[in-house]
Structure 1
């Protein structure tokens, strides 16, 4: 069972998101928060698998809450849920350690897919958000590519292989099946990769993999 904390200052939005998630028998909303500070406190108390956070909330916004949750409850994956698709929100959310970014105007199936993906150790961006990120990366790839290649050069060949699969959006279980190893081995590789690259999560590692040319454009 995937345990989810839901944070949004609008009760009707929380009710709608809860209804969508409840349609999946493998997902349970265990706590709800109406502001960012409460979201942090409930996450520390309940340790959910996923914290689903609105960006604009009182007391503490979702971006600040994401940073605090990734610092104090690193086993909880953070997904940002918002009506705002501006690039600065996307970049800030990813820099604060979010593993996913979903738009409230997206398909309800994306919500369930996103929660399941990050709970399984993968990263998830809604298609519209992914397009923005890839477009931005494509514009800056020439300037960032050399630095990214230097960073990935410190990895072993196996670590680069795992990083490429992380960049392709695969979960630990999918990578394990692809490489014919146990999932625990993949987790160890991913942990080592994040440490060597000095990044906070899989999304940031995936960006480096893209800039370094380890995964193809798509």
Structure 2
């Protein structure tokens, strides 16, 4: 990886206003320079190859190729890559996926400017940087048994407001079997009803507002 007097940073986000805000956040810092930008996962990979930044701030919700996939691809090709996942998502599944893909830190877009700068400098120094709330979410992830592929299908359908009959039709199973799946899912998640299951799934990042997993 290239080195220089300044920390060379690449910004990856598909929202122009976010990019402008990040630029404004970093511009006053004498030891940091923004040297590249990208608006989707595929472009992020291309720009990384072209510029070899010291630090990459990578949004997770990207078009064309999402941030986790882009992180995984970059880290596979460049094991020394130092990537900070930058997101609005607080779900523990999202945190786990980003870190498993190779991110060295996971920070929120609305975090205080000084904490963002601490993350950049810590990761540049070879450290992992996880805010306290992220560490807490990771502990919750470890305590919670992962959902099976079928359970993920069921929770996604519940998020769409599907009845047991509709879930059965979507999965090609009997309505009574769908009912059993839903019952087991509620028990596993420790909730009383479908609404609570969906809210918990959203809170943990198992599904997102568009119903995706």
In structure 2, what is the equivalent of residue 54 of structure 1? 59
In structure 2, what is the equivalent of residue 9 of structure 1? 14
5 Å-filtered alignment, 1:61-140, equals 61-137=66-142
Which of these residues, 21, 25, 30, is aligned with residue 30 of structure 2?
25
Question: Are the equivalent residues in 1 in contact too, given 2:13–2:62 (CA < 8 A)?
Answer: yes
Structure 2 spans left out of the alignment, 5+ residues:
1-5, 146-213
Q: Distance in 2 between matches of 1:4 and 1:60?
A: 20
> Match of 1:81, SS?
strand
Q: Distance in 1 between matches of 2:131 and 2:23?
A: 19
TM-score w.r.t. the length of structure 1 is 0.61
Instruction: Give the drift of 1:5.
Output: 0.6
Answer 1 or 2: which has greater helix percent.
1
Instruction: Give the drift of 1:14.
Output: 0.6
User: Aligned residues, how many?
Assistant: 140
Q: Distance in 2 between matches of 1:137 and 1:122?
A: 22
In structure 1, what is the equivalent of residue 170 of structure 2? none
Structure of higher CA gyration radius: 2
Moved segments of 4+, more than 3 Å: 134-140
Structure 1 spans left out of the alignment, 5+ residues:
141-218
Instruction: Give the drift of 1:137.
Output: 4.5
> Match of 1:4, SS?
strand
Question: Are the equivalent residues in 2 in contact too, given 1:43–1:73 (CA < 8 A)?
Answer: no
